[in-house]
Amino acid sequence: MSLEKFLHSLGIRHLVCGSCNGCELEMNALAAPQYDISQEGWGVVASPRHADVITVTGPMSEAMRHAAQMTIEAASEPLVVVAVGDCASGDGVWCEAGSAGPGAGRELEASIFVRGCPPSPDALREGLRAAATLLDGRKS
Amino acid sequence: MASKYSERPVKQGDLPNVVDELMSDALPLGCYATQRTVRTLFLSRSGVRGLRTALDGDEKWRSLAQRYPFFSYHEREMQALQEIVVQSSPDERPLYFSSDAIPEAIVAEGKGISGVVVGPVHAGIIEPGRFTISTGGESVVHIDAQLSYSHRALEPWFEGQEALALAPRVARICGNCSVARSWAYARAIEELAGVELDDCTEFARLVLAEMERVHVHLFDIGSIAAGAGYDRGTTAALGLRERICQVNNVASGHRLLFDSVVPGGVKAGIFADPGIVRTTLRELRDDVARFCDALLAKRSLLRRLEGAGVVERPLARRFAAVGPSGRASGIACDVRAIAPYGAYRGCAFSEELAGGGDVYARAEVRVREIERSFDLIERGLREVEGRKLSAPRQVDAAAGIITTVVEGARGAESISLELSKGGRIDRLHVISAAYRNWPLVTRAMEGNIVPDFPLVNKSFNLCYSCVDR
Ligand code: SF4
């Protein structure tokens, strides 16, 4: 295995901002043996301080806005924010509904948007791979 | 048509006695308000019964939660969204809060007691909640759960919208109970409009609902294994669940079955090849059974599950527990058995009960329910296979007031719908099984050790999105 491979390892912190949990079900599927993202050196971490990637779902709920911002601020650079699902990307069913925001990924200035309601595990893996590639560029 | 909704007026002064009476032989669903009218709902064998209480001018609502604590969330919600003032409430904190406010927590006081706060962002892929844990050493003295982080004020926003057009959104109020909620919503519209469906369509709905139960139960069993630190079990459960999601996709075009049940029937084109679905599920069923048997025979795992997070029957009763968690404490609360709807009416379904009320019992009930689900799926698919599934019927939404209940994977999922002429929504209220069971999670933890919180919590594995809305 070439050493560059390690550049692609990702610590992922997940932020739920008014999601219906459908996106979370598919994010969790990534740990199933059919996908097993731990083989890529990707894993969900216990602190934003350990994160390279923050995945966000949902339109943004009012009560999460502050905690979400604090999570982003707590993470160290370089950091890539990935919007997961149509809600986070800005045109899901709950965007601007009731007191919901315009999309958590839009508010938190995501650089990658993974579409779908919810996105399939394959689409999520592609999104994370794009994040890893982006990070490699920033780290060098 | 079975399980009709009926309601009658009850003056506030008479309400406690009427509620007392109904508590003994009906399943309480909760209460909700539309402006100044409060409806208290029960599910009995003859259907959903509503008690309609109109409050005059500035009449306050006298809290029922002192006597029956499960009313607490409902009353806090009525106060927040319908501006009904609740008197002598055991919990007067506002249910919803704004962005930078840290919600007020209830903490235990006493010598040697300290506090731990976790959330709303967690070290996993889970929904947001904040838990304030008061401990005396390793033992939990009290847990206060502050939910509402996913509150998007959806219900006020639904008002005035066209009921039929809202179905895809109703399917996304919560990803774990999508089919169940879509079914309850479709039934509400159909029953108001007097629409009956053919048997084939009813069986297709039953199959979809049971497929949802299987994928959610498998996920929950995997989460229990994770809470106990048994990663092999989690991975295996996720692998089996993934195979179910792939079958869901083949059957309905959606891995989580969203939008598969629609007003007037089921999504067009669904179950194009029921034979393939049936054969794939047959294999999967054997693998699931082998996995569950092996899991529940694992001594080291059982020692973690047995005796953890016990909810005794009287407590479950007082909190009106529903779903597998209620049945694990010996409470008969399965809507499919109490007030059968759709194709369950012809299925002689009996519910799975256990008595221990611990994490083990909650796992075991789910394991047995998965088996029953596979029976029902096989039965249903045979009915669908021999016939042609029709496209959804045209429904002309009619005015009226109704509450319908469906058994979702986590328990009774109800939809209260008030439509005006032309099918516009005057009020749409959701009572989810998780809403009912959340207060029990915190009670189940009392006296348990802090490191068991993930285990006990996951043995309920309650949703947030349909609770917060
Ligand atoms: S994108 Fe779809 S699945 Fe994801 S949170 Fe929004 S409604 Fe749910």
Q: Nearest CA of chain B to the CA of A6: how many Å?
A: 23
Q: Does the distance separating the beta carbons of B100 and A28 come in below 8 Å?
A: no
* Residue A22: closest C-alpha in chain B: B175
A97 lines ligand 1 (CB under 6 A): no
Partners of B262 in beta bridges: B265
Give me the pLDDT at residue B416, please.
Answer: 97
Choose one of A15, A16, A19 to mutate for the ligand 1 pocket test, by most ligand atoms within 8 angstroms of C-beta: A19
Minimal Cβ distance to B127: which of A21, A45, A94: A21
A16: Cβ below 6 Å to ligand 1? no
Q: What is the pLDDT of residue B380?
A: 94
- Testing the interface with A: which of B96, B100, B121 to mutate, by most A Cβ within 10 A? B121
In which domain, by residue range, is A53 found?
A: 3-134
Residue in A33, A48, A97 closest to B235 by CB? A33
- Asked if residue A86 has its Cβ within 6 Å of ligand 1, the reply is yes
Give every residue of chain A whose pLDDT is below 70, as ranges. Answer: 1-7, 139-140
Q: What is the pTM of this model?
A: 0.95
Question: How large is the average pLDDT for residues B455-466?
Answer: 92
Asked, for residue A109, whether it belongs to a domain, the answer is yes
Instruction: Supply B460's token pair.
Output: 């309920």
Whether residue B446 has pLDDT greater than 90: no
Q: What is the mean pLDDT of residues B28-46?
A: 95
Q: What percent of chain B has pLDDT over 70?
A: 99
**Chain B CB within 8 Å of residue A117 CB:** yes
**pLDDT the model gives residue A136:** 82
* Residues of chain A contacting residue B239, judged by C-beta atoms under 8 Å apart: 32-34
**Sign, Cα dihedral of B215, B350, B278, B342:** negative
Q: Measured between CA atoms, how close is B348 to chain A, in angstroms?
A: 32
Task: Provide CATH code, domain B154-435.
Answer: 1.10.645.10
Count of domains in chain A? Answer: 1
Is a pLDDT exceeding 90 seen at residue B138? no
Nearest residue of chain B to residue A45 (CA atoms): B123
Within 8 A by CB and 6+ apart from A3, the residues are none
Q: Is residue A95 part of a domain?
A: yes
pLDDT digits 0-9 by tens, B246-278:
999 999 999 999 999 999 999 999 998 888 899
| Tens digits of residue pLDDT in B182-230 | 999 999 999 999 999 999 999 999 999 999 999 999 999 999 999 999 9
Give me the mean pLDDT over the B10-36 stretch: 93
Residues of B in contact with A68 (CB under 8 A): 121
Ligand 1 centre to CA of B108 (Å) is 37
* Distance from the A83 Cα atom to the nearest Cα atom in chain B, whole angstroms: 14
Q: At what angle do helices B453-460 and B359-385 cross, to 10 degrees?
A: 30
Residue nearest to atom 2 of ligand 1 (CA): A117
A93 touches ligand 1 (CB under 6 Å) = yes
Give the residue from B281, B270, B290, B272 showing the smallest Cα distance to B211: B281
Nearest to B408 by CA among B202, B65, B171: B171
Question: Per-residue pLDDT averaged across B362-368, rounded?
Answer: 97
Q: Does the domain made of B5-87 have the CATH classification 3.30.460.80?
A: yes
- The span from the CA of B311 to the CA of B190, in Å, is 38
* 3-state percent breakdown (helix, strand, coil) of chain B, nearest 5: 45, 20, 35
Give me the residue spans of the domains in chain B. 5-87, 154-435
The confidence score (pLDDT) of residue A60 equals 97
SS3 B426: strand
Does A125 lie at the interface with B, CB-CB under 8 angstroms? Answer: no
DSSP B237-292: HHHHHHHHHHHHHHHHSSTT-TT-EETTEE-TTTTS-HHHHHHHHHHHHHHHHHHH
Question: Residue A56's domain is classified under what CATH number?
Answer: 3.40.50.12280
Q: Which residue has the tokens 């982003």?
A: A72
Average pLDDT over residues B138-160: 92
Q: How many Cβ atoms from other residues are within 10 Å of residue B109's Cβ?
A: 8
User: Considering only CB atoms, which chain A residues are within 8 Å of B291?
Assistant: none
Contact between chains at B175 and A25 (C-beta distance less than 8 A): yes
Q: What is the pLDDT of residues B101-123, one digit of tens each?
A: 788 888 888 888 988 888 899 88
User: Which uninterrupted H or E stretch holds B315?
Assistant: helix B313-318
Instruction: Give me chain B's average pLDDT, please.
Output: 93
Whole-number pLDDT of residue B98: 77
Task: Provide the CB-side half-sphere exposure for B261 (13 A, CA).
Answer: 33
Our CA dihedral for A85, A88, A90, A91, rounded to 10 degrees, sits at 40
Q: Which has more confidence, B348 or A4?
A: B348
Task: Give the confidence band of B1 by pLDDT, cuts at 50, 70, 90.
Answer: very low
What confidence score (pLDDT) does residue A8 get? 78
Nearest C-alpha to atom 8 of ligand 1 is from which residue? A20
Tell me the three-class secondary structure of B197-218, residue by residue: CCHHHHHHHHHHHHHHHHHHHH
Cβ within 8 Å, pair A44-B96 = no
Q: Say yes or no: CB of residue A90 within 6 Å of ligand 1.
A: no
Q: Is residue A98 part of a domain?
A: yes
